[in-house]
C-alpha cells in the first residue's frame, strides 16, 4: 500500500485521557471501556470531544503496553478518578492515514518510520493512533487510522 506521509507543525492539544497498561490482546475491551468512560464523563460536564479518539503508545511491549487512551477536548478540563487532563505536546509531527483493519497497521508504521529515517528526523518514542471512523459502524476494510509520530 502506498502511504501519503505528511510533516506538520502542530500546536499543543488538550485531552482527557486514561493512562494504563494492557496486553495487545486485551486492547479492544480496554479501549472500548476507556472511550466509553471518557464520553460518559464529557456528557456529565456538558462538553464534547474536539476530534477523533486516540491511543498514545509509550512503548511497544505487546504484553505490557503503556498506553494513554483519550479524546482531544477544548482546553484543560477537570479530571475525575482515572480520567485525567493531559495534552498532546506541540511540535513537529509526521503522520499518515491507514485504510483497513487495525491488525494490519504495521506497514503504515514501517512507512512512517522509514520516512523519518530517510529525512533526518528522530521520533520522540511515542506513537499516536487516531481512529477516524467508528468500528461499530464501519466495515474493517474501510477503517481509517491516522498514525502520528511526534519528532524531536
Map out the domains of the chain with their CATH numbers: 6-150 (3.20.80.10)
The tens digit of pLDDT for each residue in 57-80 reads: 999 899 999 999 999 999 999 999
Give me the pLDDT at residue 1, please. Answer: 74
Cell of residue 82, nine digits = 482515572
- 100 touches 2 (CB < 8 A): no
Distance of CA 31 to the CA centre of its chain: 11
**100 DSSP assignment:** S
Which residues on adjacent β-strands are paired with residue 144? 99
The number of helices, as runs of H, and strands, as runs of E, in the chain is: 2, 8
Q: What are the per-10-residue average pLDDT scores of the chain (152 residues)? A: 93 98 96 97 97 96 96 96 97 98 95 97 97 94 98 94
Cell of residue 124, nine digits = 520522540
- 57 touches 123 (CB < 8 A): no
- Whole-model pTM? 0.95
Give me the pLDDT at residue 134, please. Answer: 92
The tens digit of pLDDT for each residue in 9-22 reads: 999 999 999 999 99
- The alpha carbons of the chain give a radius of gyration, in whole angstroms, of 15
Amino acid at each position: 500500500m502506498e502511504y501519503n506521509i505528511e510533516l506538520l507543525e502542530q500546536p499543543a492539544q488538550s485531552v482527557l485521557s486514561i493512562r494504563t497498561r494492557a496486553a495487545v490482546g486485551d486492547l479492544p475491551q480496554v479501549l472500548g471501556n476507556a472511550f466509553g468512560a471518557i464520553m460518559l464523563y464529557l456528557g456529565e460536564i456538558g462538553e464534547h470531544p474536539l476530534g477523533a479518539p486516540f491511543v498514545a503508545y509509550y512503548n511497544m511491549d505487546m504484553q505490557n503496553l503503556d498506553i494513554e487512551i483519550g479524546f482531544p477536548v477544548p482546553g484543560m478540563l477537570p479530571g475525575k478518578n482515572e480520567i485525567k487532563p493531559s495534552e498532546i505536546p506541540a511540535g513537529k509531527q509526521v503522520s499518515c492515514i491507514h485504510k483497513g483493519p487495525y491488525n494490519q497497521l504495521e506497514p503504515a508504521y514501517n512507512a512512517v518510520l522509514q520516512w523519518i529515517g530517510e529525512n533526518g528526523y528522530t521520533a520522540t518514542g511515542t506513537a499516536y493512533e487516531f481512529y477516524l471512523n467508528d468500528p461499530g459502524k464501519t466495515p474493517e476494510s474501510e477503517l481509517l487510522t491516522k498514525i502520528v509520530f511526534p519528532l524531536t
